[in-house]
Amino acid sequence: MPLIRVSMFPGRTDEQKKALIEELTDAFLRTAGGNRDGVWVMLEEVPREHWGVGGTSSSAPRPSGS
């Protein structure tokens, strides 16, 4: 049973999340094969203040031009 985990910032609609789950499942089956019912997708919404890149919180303002 493959599990595809996606961590992302909140803000997508239910329709976008549903489409993402369908597309990820389809992409997995196209490239790796398997049984559609065996592909699990988990979407995890992480608040910006709980996410950092390069030592900087993602909730911090970005310099212009970034």
C-alpha 51/C-alpha 41 separation (Å) is 21
Confirm whether 61 is a catalytic residue: no
**Catalytic hit among 2, 10, 47, 63:** 2
Q: Which residues contact 44 (CB under 8 A, 6 or more apart)?
A: 5, 6, 7, 8
Tell me the catalytic residues: 2
